[in-house]
Amino acid sequence: MNTVAMIALFAFPGLLFAIPAGWLSVWAEHKAVARMQRRIGPPMLQPFWDFIKLIGKRTPARSGIEANLLRLYPALSILSLLGALALLPVFPQNGHGFSGDGILLVALLELPSICFILAGFTSGSLFGEVGAVREAVLSVANNLVFLLAMVTLAVTQDTFQLAALGGAKLNPGHWIAVIGIVLCIPAKLRLNPFSTSSAEQEIYSGPLTEYAGAALGLWQMAHGLEWIALTGLVATLVMPLGAPWWAAAVLFVAISAALVLLYSIVAAATARFTLERSINFYWRWAAVLAVLAIVSTVCMRWHA
Amino acid sequence: MKVLERLLQRARTKSIGLFHLNTGSCNGCDIELVTCLSPRYDVEQLGIHLEGSPRHADILCITGPVTRNTLEAVKQVYAQVCEPKAVVALGSCPASCNVFAGSPMIAGPLSKHIPVDVFVPGCPPHPDAIIEGIARAAQILAERGVAQEAETAVQQ
Amino acid sequence: MNILKLILDNLRQGTVSYRLPHVHECTSNQYRGLIHNDAERCVGCAACAYVCPTAAIEVKRAGDNYSWSYDPGKCTFCSRCIERCRPNTLTMESKLPPLYSAQGELKTVLEMVRKRPAKPATPAVAAATAVASAAVNAAAKPATAALAPNPEPAK
């Protein structure tokens, strides 16, 4: 493992950067939504204090395989998101990736959603089941668009290696794919208008209803890391190529922050879609876009 | 560790999760509680937020005289809130059942069934009084957390 | 896009929230707060206890002694007692009632003695007082007659 890989895993955009940045993103979204509703909003350290308070809670004693599984899911989500963050091609020219790591990235980004669904079913609560079913359906809906977008990206560069996919390209297929990914992110982050699976108070707390204490704190940290990983993915795809490493880092943070603001505006401006409407949106409109993108890209490669 | 304890005590007053339980209230107190979250009062600036599940909450805000139908729910929800916890009784209904006292459908004032930490009088109480009540309950909760930790340390 | 215009207006206008902790200022002197009873002037008619819908006010009698008790925990702040109080001894505070931690902590109890009006005296004394009061009235009459306008023209 070379030094670049170690830095990517532990420092930037890995552990040391991602955890505070994730908390900052969660805070930024709450603060932006509050300001747009003429409220003041939480103080900056709020997600940190939430985490500390949750660590100090005494959780009910549970035994058996379910208890261990319930504790495993948030930990697994955090580990997979850290891996995904380490894979992101923030510094593509230093080349620490390998052929096909784009597929690994997609799998790692999908694992938190799967853990969320499994947590809902394992918790044995009715609200957990309802939330898990909603998350599963929503995941199938938005993954169609997400996967088609990733495949379009790969077809434009004729490889799945992230180092080749990263950076802004002149190819129109690249940009349509980026738009497709940008459309999928609110559903992955469970933000308005696609917040039906963790509908606040509509189904109590959905899959996380039975969670308490440190495990809940880890789920909230995983949510913050999801923010960073997904906005970071889009940031690496739109960054200009050939920037020095410090400029690349600054641009990464700046584009991620801009995306956080964009999603906050969308979250404040919309209400919650029903499941049917969400599926309609992804499978009718966004999927049409994605299918057009992949067909046109394949045609372009064939003729080139 | 002393540092962790002090940090925890601070965190318990800076991050407060409310769970709101209506045990047959006329909704007046519930409306005033939701007003605290509205832009005029905005308790989110103090770190107070409504939680969806009792397991995620610290402070239980209860309105309404405890009707016979909700008695089981009150006991179960109280058991589901994780320690350290505090209970705030909003309005005069949980304190004394107000005009419904003596009715066969009412299972009595709240303090007959669960320990209550703060009573906020009023019918309905003013949002300022509710916010003060929640802040006082958070102080009680932080001290209770310290006491509980000392107890477990002694036991071990 | 109406909602985007709304959001932009909201951002431009800023917050409407109070900065908490917010000290409540009662802007109206008709705000309904805790009840106070003036022990000097209360006559013990118990009309307030009769109309109180929640039995927050209770009056217990034992001969001429009575105790007036008020439990703010039960009060619904309807101010019926104040409407009914004829000697106007009951007043309402114009500020928020205080928080408390133990049930019945704020209950106030006043022990008072019923003030009876002066008893009528024996018959002889009554006649003497009647004559005395009549003389006072007669003496008052010419004085008022002198003050009345003279119908005859003055000469």
For residue A203, the enclosing domain spans: 3-303
Is it the case that residue C154 has pLDDT exceeding 50? no
Is it the case that residue A203 has pLDDT exceeding 80? no
Q: Once rounded to an integer, what is the mean pLDDT over residues A240-259? A: 87
* Range name among A201-205, A216-220, A267-271, C143-147 with the lowest pLDDT average: C143-147
Give the closest-approach CA distance of C8 to chain B in angstroms. Answer: 16
The residue with tokens 């005009």 is: B99
* Range name among A81-90, A246-255, B24-33, C140-149 with the lowest pLDDT average: C140-149
The encoded tokens of residue C146 equal 């002198």
- Strands B118-120 and C35-37, by their bridges, are unpaired
Q: What is the pLDDT of residues B5-17, one digit of tens each?
A: 889 999 999 999 9
| Cis amide leading into A193 (omega within 30) | yes
By Cβ distance, the residue of B8, B47, B53 closest to A46 is: B47
CB A240 within 8 A of CB A168: yes
How far apart (Å, rounded) are the C-alpha atoms in residues C89 and C40? 9
CA B17 to chain CA centroid, nearest Å: 10
Residue B135: per-residue pLDDT: 93
Is it the case that residue C82 has pLDDT exceeding 70? yes
> Which residues of B fall within a CB distance of 8 Å from A56?
8, 11-12, 84, 145
CA A175 to chain CA centroid, nearest Å: 19
Domains of chain B: 17-143 (3.40.50.12280)
Q: What is the pLDDT of residues B101-126, one digit of tens each?
A: 889 999 989 999 999 999 999 989 99
% residues pLDDT > 90 (chain B): 76
| Cis amide leading into C151 (omega within 30) | no
Residue A186: per-residue pLDDT: 94
Residue C148: per-residue pLDDT: 47
What pTM was computed for the model? Answer: 0.87
Is it the case that residue A274 has pLDDT exceeding 70? yes
**Which phi and psi (to 5°) does residue B3 adopt?**
-65, -45
Give the closest-approach CA distance of C59 to chain B in angstroms. Answer: 18
CB B151 within 8 A of CB B84: no
Q: Once rounded to an integer, what is the mean pLDDT over residues A134-147? A: 92
Q: What confidence category does residue A75 fall into, taking pLDDT thresholds of 50, 70 and 90?
A: very high
Q: What confidence category does residue A43 fall into, taking pLDDT thresholds of 50, 70 and 90?
A: very high
CB atoms closer than 10 angstroms to residue B71: 17
Is it the case that residue A160 has pLDDT exceeding 60? yes
How far apart (Å, rounded) are the C-alpha atoms in residues A69 and B114? 33
How far apart (Å, rounded) are the C-alpha atoms in residues B107 and B101? 9
Cβ contact A42–B44 (<8 Å): yes
Which amino acid, residue B16? I
CB B86 within 8 A of CB B13: no
- Strands B86-90 and C90-92, by their bridges, are unpaired
CA atoms within 13 A on the CB side of A153: 31
Scanning every residue of chain C, which has its alpha carbon at the shortest distance from the alpha carbon of A39?
A: C15
Q: What is the pLDDT of residues C89-136, one digit of tens each?
A: 999 888 888 999 988 888 888 888 887 767 777 776 656 666 655 555
By Cβ distance, the residue of B111, B120, B133 closest to C103 is: B111
Q: Once rounded to an integer, what is the mean pLDDT over residues B31-43? A: 92
Dihedral Cα A231, A237, A240, A246, nearest 10 deg: 50
Q: How many domains does chain A have?
A: 1
Residue C136: per-residue pLDDT: 58
List CB contacts of B84: < 8 A, sequence separation 6 or more: A56, A57, A58, B12, B58, B141, B142, B144, B145, B148
How far apart (Å, rounded) are the C-alpha atoms in residues A53 and A48? 9
Is it the case that residue B68 has pLDDT exceeding 80? yes
How far apart (Å, rounded) are the C-alpha atoms in residues A235 and B111? 55
B142 in contact with A at a CB cutoff of 8 Å?
no
For chain A, the three-class secondary structure string (H helix, E strand, C coil) is: CCHHHHHHHHCCCCHHHHHHHHHHHHHHHHHHHHHHCCCCCCCCCHHHHHHHHHHCCECCCCCCHHHHHHHHHHHHHHHHHHHHHHHCCCCHHHCCCCCCHHHHHHHHHHHHHHHHHHHHHHCCCHHHHHHHHHHHHHHHHHHHHHHHHHHHHHHHHCCCCHHHHCCCCCCHHHHHHHHHHHHHHHHHCCCCCCCCCCCCECCECHHHCCCCCHHHHHHHHHHHHHHHHHHHHHHHHHCCCCCCHHHHHHHHHHHHHHHHHHHHHHHHHCCCCCHHHHHHHHHHHHHHHHHHHHHHHHHHHHHC
Domains of chain C: 27-113 (3.30.70.3270)
Q: What is the mean pLDDT of chain C?
A: 80
Q: What confidence category does residue A158 fall into, taking pLDDT thresholds of 50, 70 and 90?
A: confident
Q: What is the pLDDT of residues B46-65, one digit of tens each?
A: 999 999 899 999 999 999 99
Q: E-assigned strands of B41-125?
A: 48-50, 59-63, 86-90, 118-120
Is it the case that residue A56 has pLDDT exceeding 50? yes
Is it the case that residue C145 has pLDDT exceeding 50? no
How far apart (Å, rounded) are the C-alpha atoms in residues B66 and B25? 8
Is it the case that residue C142 has pLDDT exceeding 60? no
Q: What confidence category does residue A5 fall into, taking pLDDT thresholds of 50, 70 and 90?
A: confident
Residue A89: per-residue pLDDT: 82
Give the closest-approach CA distance of C5 to chain A in angstroms. Answer: 10
Residue C128: per-residue pLDDT: 63
Cα–Cα distance list, C73 to B134, C37, C89 (Å): 18, 17, 21
Cβ contact A55–B12 (<8 Å): no
Q: What is the pLDDT of residues A88-117, one digit of tens each?
A: 888 766 666 777 788 999 999 999 999 999
Length of chain B: 156
Is it the case that residue C27 has pLDDT exceeding 80? no
